[in-house]
Chains A and B, each alone.
Chain A
Amino acid sequence: MVSTSSTSGPTRHPGSSPTRHPGSSPTRHPMTGNRMDHGADSGFETHDYDVVVIGAGGAGLRAAIAAHDADARVAIVCKSLLGKAHTVMAEGGIAAAMGNVYDEDGWQVHFRDTMRGGKMLNNWRMAQLHAQEAPERVLELEEWGALFDRTPEGLISQRDFGGHKYARLAHVGDRTGLEMIRTLQQRAVALGIDVFMECTVTDVFTEGVGEIGPGHHEYDHRRVTGAFAYWRETGRFIVFNAPSVVLATGGIGKSYQVTSNSWEYTGDGHALALRAGASLINMEFVQFHPTGMVWPPSVKGILVTESVRGDGGVLKNSEGERFMFNYIPEFFKSETADSIEEAEGWYTDKKNHRRPPELLPRDEVARAINSEIKAGRGSPHGGVFLDIASRRDAEFIRRRLPSMYHQFKELADVDITAEPMEVGPTCHYVMGGVEVDADTERSTVEGLYAAGEVAGGMHGSNRLGGNSLSDLLVFGRRAGHNAAYHAQNASLERSLPSPTEVKAAADRALAPFHLHEWEEGENPYTIQKDLQAVMQRLVGIIRTRDELAESLGEIEQLKERAKNLLVEGHRQYNPGWHLALDLENMLIVSDCIAKAALEREESRGGHTRDDFPTPDPVWGGKNLVLTLPGGSFDTPVELRHQPLPEMPQQLRSLFEDAQ
């Protein structure tokens, strides 16, 4: 066995490599080049910014660029190296009604598709802004160096995707996310925005505003004063003084066993928002992408892009049947082909044919695959077959789907140009998130903004493929601008985080290193594994009252166990410690999902109840709002019902016209 020296403690100096300059002051961080204030050997460094953006995926980078353009002093803080965020995994494309392939397309059609995909539970104003602004956001990426695939006329090419009436996704082969993140990353670097890489935020600081009544300690609302973070490399703490914080932390997928998400997806922003006093909506809606890899076990859950189906791939069961024709719901009957002949015609003549059922929204396809597997018609490794090999020639497949070709060849020894893939549902995306104002992306806490997957409302109960990347761009930009304006207005009366708060944040972060000797320590990896098993088994694609109630009991027990987390080693680049801190976020978020799922007694989009199998119009007018009044992970989550914002008649008529 190996032992490493553990000389570190709260006062440990960052690193000891010869390339660094411990003790010299002021110095720059070796990884990021950021200035470090070495005055504080007690273990803190302090930075002042106007806007702190948490997360460096598409939404975070776009927000930072927007805030910079609005003349704010901006910091990006991210858990990984710059350019590694989960956005790189997005494959298919960016949905934007540019009309490069179909003239008929426009924001109204995109808006309507988005609302229908979300089963009308979307925040209509967000869906409208998204559809209107997405095209310009895509053109902007091109301005910054993105190289999209082209139409024969030289315009940005657009591809078909589930739930979108027209071919609408701007793309680069099947690696659109990589192109997007690299473009935004290079833009942010060119602008000279400060980036705190491999740095995790554990608290957002707030203060009460507008005391209600004399001698009372109740406030009208809360306002952001800064954030608390640690460098993963050194374990050293950072206090950010900032009036605006933008959450762009992505989703929660790591709470499930089978997921397309990376280790970073631990619901940090969701939990930070709740603990700071903001609210979450729509948390019961979790998207299971219908096609994840199922074999070999080590890659179970890794995404197989929807473009495979957009480009002609079909789903088959073990009997060779193209089963999606058996699962066309009433809601989509009028626009879906009901025979193989019609579906086949669609690929070449979209005007006179309805769409193949393989391109129904993701929730429908995931449920259908789930049913086929349960009925015993699955593939050898517990999935179904996704076949493009017998339908398109090898050259076409390699050109249109290079990453998929590569991924299956390297990881599963499967040649997708010659044999079908085995695929099954994988936890992919959370529709729920921080409740924000549609125009400004501000949460209920002054100075706290959210954009991208961590924000709620835009996608309703189910997100259409391709709408995520456009969401990041549209709302990332809006959040960044508004955060900058807020900081400007707040510039003359900024409060700093209080020393008590800072001390409490530091103590909380260090807790997993200390336990009373009479307590038995819990391994964070074990609790994470147990949580994933609970969520997968009891809060998965198909849900029931009994199982959801059981899950709440299990989560409660896991929270108890998590109070006794113990990690080995010291603070320098210690993944066990990092997981221990992320785990509290995963527990809060899982609790929210399970509570909301138990409450919503209907089936809609990404929430399917076996005991309430159909949509209920009463539920269709409501959001479930979650809060955490106690502010810490071991206090109860509270839930209330809230009516949906009402769509104006002018937009409602878009749906009537289409009928």
Chain B
Amino acid sequence: MGYELNMRVWRGDASGGHLGSYAVEVEEGEVVLDAIHRLQATQAGDLAVRWNCKAGKCGSCSAEINGRPRLMCMTRLADFEETETITVTPMRTFPVIRDLVTDVSFNYEKAKQLPSFAPAPRDRDGKRRMMQVDVERGQEFRKCIECFLCQDVCHVVRDHDENKPAFAGPRFFLRYAELDMHPLDTNDRRQLAQDAAGLGMCNITKCCTEVCPEGIKITDNAIIPMKERVVDRKYDPVVWLGSKILRRDQRREVGPARPTPQPESHRPRPKGVLTRPEVARALATDLPAWSRTGDAISRSVDAPSFMDGIRLVLRVAELAESHDHHPDIDIRWRTVTFTLSTHSAGGVTARDLRLAREIDELAG
């Protein structure tokens, strides 16, 4: 039944580390993650490891076991000899945070760059119709649990940090293929997959398919068809003609996704920057001549003559110097526009409101 397992587990952080040797009691039927948990509970309470479902469904506990990228929860101890020492190290392609935990933000950044699903309108009854055979291709790709083992094993980025900016990796080729094959999508991402995501850098070594714990045929079913589609689009005159006729190809070519720009009120607000309602209240109560545009407030003054306008600008300039807070000034014949914003804070602050009041006094 139970036996003592010898393990080597990488311990350390970004500044360096080493393989720690441990002996841990294990039981029949256990997986590598069980052994790691027992280490945590009995010998190394601070051993850092990610995990969640422990059933191969969430893709959190990715690591390299004896050098092979695997899920710790799906790697059975029975697959090793009892006398064999099992070595567990963090995924190599991503920077280490601590012990077995790596910084996988690369993947979340790549996800943000991908233009999302853009469906055609619903049918008249408010529902949508797709045939099972048409959704099955996409469904295979949507089995992905985002364990990022395919990203980890991919030689384009493994040990090649310099390729990361231009290469999205197998996980996202899967996503491109999924959307490209979606019966209701209206975006054309083929050029983008080739250019921005670096599909062309993949030379189909199939390592990603080999390590996929979900058994998704990443290379055969996603990457190769995507490569073919990109090529078709470029060179095939029939496809070109078809694209003029068939609905399916009347798709909109899209560039890299920029997350829907949040209204500025949605961005984290630095210290001192007033909220929109706060600005609105100030303008309403004692700065009626001012209005807000974006991150700034502005007011125009109609001077009696061009030279009166210039004299006003001079007085405001002196005031601004004394406060070390400078407005943007626009002069058009006898109309002068002052725009105030605290650029260092990225928005309207109390300093802007004070300067606005003083400009009002000078302008009358």
Taking beta carbons and an 8 Å cutoff, which residues of A are in contact with B?
Answer: 1-2, 4, 15-19, 26, 30-35, 37, 39, 46-49, 68, 71-74, 80-86, 88-89, 100, 139, 142-145, 147-150, 152-157, 172-173, 175, 178-179, 182, 186-187, 189-192, 194, 197, 233, 262-264, 295-299, 302-303, 403, 406-407, 410-412, 491-492, 523-526, 529, 567-570, 572-577
CA distance A1 to B105 in the complex (A): 31
Interface contact A15-B139, CB-CB below 8 Å:
no
Q: In the assembled complex, how far is the CB of residue B39 from the closest CB belonging to chain A, in whole angstroms?
A: 10
Q: For B260, what are the chain A residues with a Cβ–Cβ distance below 8 Å?
A: 190-192
Chain B residues contacting A190 (CB-CB under 8 Å) are 116, 257, 259-260
Residue in contact with B270 in the complex, picked from A37, A72, A264, CB distance below 8 Å: A37
Question: A572, B43: Cβ atoms under 8 Å?
Answer: no
CB contacts (< 8 Å) of B131 on chain A: these are 150, 154
Bound together, the chains give a CA A573 to CA B44 distance in angstroms of 13
The answer to whether A144 touches B266 (Cβ under 8 A) is no
Interface secondary structure of A, over-half rule: loop
Q: List 20 A-B contacts (CB under 8 A).
A: A2-B44, A4-B12, A16-B15, A17-B13, A30-B105, A72-B266, A80-B52, A84-B59, A147-B142, A189-B116, A192-B262, A262-B51, A296-B28, A298-B27, A299-B54, A407-B55, A407-B56, A524-B45, A529-B41, A573-B97
Known interface pairs A17-B96, A73-B266, A80-B50; A147-B139 also in contact (CB < 8 Å): yes
Q: Is A186 a contact partner of B117 (Cβ separation < 8 A)?
A: yes
Q: Return chain A residues, CB-CB under 8 Å to B43.
A: 1
Q: How far is the CA of A81 from the CA of B102 in the complex (A)?
A: 11
Q: Is B220 an interface residue (CB 8 A)?
A: no
Task: Knowing A26-B270, A48-B269, A81-B50 are in contact, say whether A178-B57 is a contact too (CB < 8 A).
Answer: yes
Residues of B within 8 Å of A81, CB to CB, are 50, 60, 104
Quick one: which of A2, A299, A491 contacts B11, CB cutoff 8 A?
A: A2
Write the B13-44 contact mask toward A (1 if CB under 8 angstroms, else 0): 11100101110000111110010000011111
Q: Is the CB of A89 within 8 A of B56?
A: no
Q: What's the nearest-Cβ distance from chain B to residue A181, in Å?
A: 9
Say which residue of B15, B31, B128, B269 sits within 8 Å of A142 (CB atoms). Answer: B128
B165 at the interface (CB under 8 A from A): no
Interface assignment of B103: CB less than 8 Å from any CB of chain A: yes
Interface of chain B: mostly helix, strand, loop or mixed: loop
B277 adjacent to chain A (CB < 8 Å): yes
B residues 208-234 near A (Cβ < 8 Å) are 215
In the complex, what's the smallest C-beta–C-beta distance from A8 to chain B, in angstroms? 10
Further pairs besides A32-B108, A143-B119: 7, Cβ < 8 Å: A2-B20, A35-B268, A83-B146, A88-B57, A233-B98, A262-B52, A570-B46
Contacts of B190 in A (CB 8 A): none
| Bound-state Cα–Cα, A411 to B277, Å | 57
Please state if A39 and B20 are interface contacts (CB–CB under 8 Å).
Answer: no
**CB < 8 Å neighbour of B265 from A15, A35, A73:** A73
The smallest beta-carbon distance between A89 and chain B, in angstroms, is: 5
Query: What residues of chain B lie closer than 8 Å to A15, measured between beta carbons?
Result: 14, 97
Report B93-130 residues with CB < 8 Å from chain A CB: 95-99, 101, 103-105, 108-109, 111-112, 116-117, 119, 122, 126-130
A19-B103, A83-B146, A298-B30 known; A88-B117 Cβ under 8 A? no
B204 at the interface (CB under 8 A from A): no
Q: How far is the CA of A37 from the CA of B49 in the complex (A)?
A: 27
- Beyond A525-B45, A573-B101, whether A145 also contacts B12 by CB under 8 A is no
Q: Say whether, besides A34-B268, A80-B52, A411 and B20 are in contact (CB < 8 Å).
A: no
- Residue in B closest to A173 when the chains form the complex, CB atoms: B139
Closest to B38 in A: A525
Instruction: Report whether A17 and B29 are in contact in the complex, using a CB–CB cutoff of 8 Å.
Output: no
Distance (whole angstroms) from the CB of B71 to the closest CB of chain A: 10
**B283 beta carbon closer than 8 Å to chain A:** no
* Partner among B15, B56, B146 whose Cβ is within 8 Å of the Cβ of A406: B56
User: In the bound complex, how far is the Cα of B49 from the Cα of A157, in angstroms?
Assistant: 39
Report yes or no: A82 in contact with B108, Cβ–Cβ below 8 A.
yes
Q: Which 3 A-B pairs have the closest CB atoms?
A: A296-B29, A192-B259, A569-B46
Chain A residues, Cβ within 8 Å of B96: 17
Q: How far is the CB of B13 from chain A (nearest CB, A)?
A: 7
Q: How far is the CA of A68 from the CA of B40 in the complex (A)?
A: 40
- Tell me the smallest distance from the CB of A2 to a CB of chain B, in Å: 3
> Given the complex, which residues of A lie within 8 Å of B205, measured CB to CB?
none
Q: Does B30 contact A153, Cβ atoms closer than 8 Å?
A: no
Bound Cα distance A153, B127 (Å): 12
What chain A residues lie within 8 Å of B51 (beta carbons)?
Answer: 262-263
B30 contacts A297, C-beta separation under 8 Å: yes
B182 to chain A, nearest CB (A): 7
CA distance A473 to B201 in the complex (A): 40
> B277 to chain A: closest CB distance in Å?
4
Does B76 reach chain A (CB closer than 8 Å)?
yes
B304 interface contact, C-beta 8 A: no
- Which of the residues A30, A49, A71 comes within 8 Å of B263, measured between beta carbons? A71
Chain A nearest Cβ from B350, distance in angstroms: 16
* Cβ contact within 8 Å between A33 and B105: yes
Given A73-B266, A143-B119, check contact A262 B53 (CB 8 Å). Answer: yes
Chain A residues lying within 8 Å of B267, measured Cβ to Cβ, are 73
- Chain A positions within 8 Å of B21 at CB level: 2
Measured CB to CB, the nearest residue on chain A to B278 is A492
Whether B132 pairs with A150 at a CB distance below 8 angstroms is yes
Nearest B-chain residue to A47, judged by Cβ: B268
Q: Are A295 and B57 in contact (CB under 8 A)?
A: no
Contacting residues, chain A, for B143 (C-beta < 8 A): 175, 178
B305 at the interface (CB under 8 A from A): no
Residue of A nearest to B20 (CB): A2
Q: Are A4 and B135 in contact (CB under 8 A)?
A: no
Q: Point out the residue from A150, A172, A191, A302 that lies within 8 Å of B130, measured CB to CB.
A: A150
Contacts known (A18-B14, A150-B135, A190-B259); A32 close to B271, Cβ less than 8 A: no
Are B11 and A4 in contact (CB-based, < 8 A)?
yes
- A189 and B266 in contact, given A88-B145, A492-B277, A575-B40 (Cβ under 8 angstroms): no
A114 to B27 CA separation, bound complex (whole angstroms): 42
Query: Which A residues are in CB contact (< 8 Å) with B288?
Result: none
A68 neighbours in B (Cβ, 8 Å):
266
Tell me how far the C-beta of A251 lies from the nearest C-beta in chain B, rounded to whole angstroms: 14
Chain A residues whose CB sits within 8 angstroms of the CB of B257 once the complex forms: 190
A89 contacts B58, CB within 8 Å? yes
A575 touches B54 (CB 8 A): no
Q: Which residues of B contact A192 (CB under 8 A)?
A: 259-262, 266
Q: Does B74 contact A (CB under 8 A)?
A: yes
Contacts of A19 in B (CB 8 A): 95, 103
Docked pose: A523 CA to B45 CA in angstroms? 9
Task: Give Cα A73 to B53, complex, Å.
Answer: 31
Question: Assuming A37-B271, A189-B112, is B55 touching A182 (CB within 8 A)?
Answer: no
Cβ–Cβ < 8 Å partners of B12 in chain A: 4
Instruction: Decide if B31 touches A411 in the complex (CB within 8 Å).
Output: yes
Return the chain A residue nearest B144 by Cβ. A182
Give which listed residue, B59, B97, B119, B275, contacts A17 with CB less than 8 A.
B97
A179 to B34 Cα, complex, angstroms: 27
Q: How distant is the Cα of A39 from the Cα of B135 in the complex, in angstroms?
A: 51
Do A1 and B20 form a contact, CB below 8 Å, given A147-B135, A150-B131, A573-B98?
Answer: yes
Residue of A84, A233, A262, A568 near B45 (CB, 8 A) is A568
Closest B residue to A91 by beta carbon equals B57
Q: Is there an interface contact between B127 and A149, defined as CB atoms closer than 8 Å?
A: no
Tell whether, in the assembled complex, residue A88 and residue B266 are in contact, meaning their CB atoms are under 8 Å apart.
Answer: no
Residue of A nearest to B257 (CB): A190
**Measured CA separation A544–B112 after assembly (Å):** 53
Q: Smallest distance from the beta carbon of A195 to chain B beta carbons, Å? A: 8
A215 to B69, CA, bound (A): 65
In Å, the complex CA distance between A156 and B96 comes to: 43
Q: Which residue of A lies closest to B15 (CB)?
A: A16
Min C-beta distance of A173 to chain B, whole Å: 7
Distance (whole angstroms) from the CB of B216 to the closest CB of chain A: 12
A32 to B268, CA, bound (A): 13
Given contacts A1-B43, A16-B14, A572-B13, whether A139 and B127 have CB atoms under 8 Å apart is yes
State whether B117 touches A144 (Cβ < 8 A).
yes
